[in-house]
Amino acid sequence: MGRLTVLFADKFEEISERFCGCKNIGFDYRTCEKDGSVVLDELRKNPVDVVVMDFAMKGIDALGVLERIRTMNPLYTPAVIVLSSADSISLKNEFYNKGAEFYLRKPVKTEELISKINEVKRNREMNNLKSNSDRYHDESDAIITKIIQQLCVPAHLKGYNYLRYAIKLCVDTPALTNTVTKELYPGVAINYSVTSESVERNIRTAIELAWQRGNDDGFSKYFGYNKQMRKSRPTNAEFIARISDEIRIEYDVG
pLDDT digits (tens, 9 = 90+) for 196-235: 999 999 999 999 999 988 667 778 888 887 777 777 889 9
Query: What is the maximum alpha-carbon separation in the chain?
Result: 65
- The percentage of residues in the chain with a pLDDT greater than 90, rounded to a whole number, is 45
The closest of 184, 154, 189 to 168, measured between CA atoms, is 184
pLDDT in tens, 154-172: 889 999 999 999 999 999 9
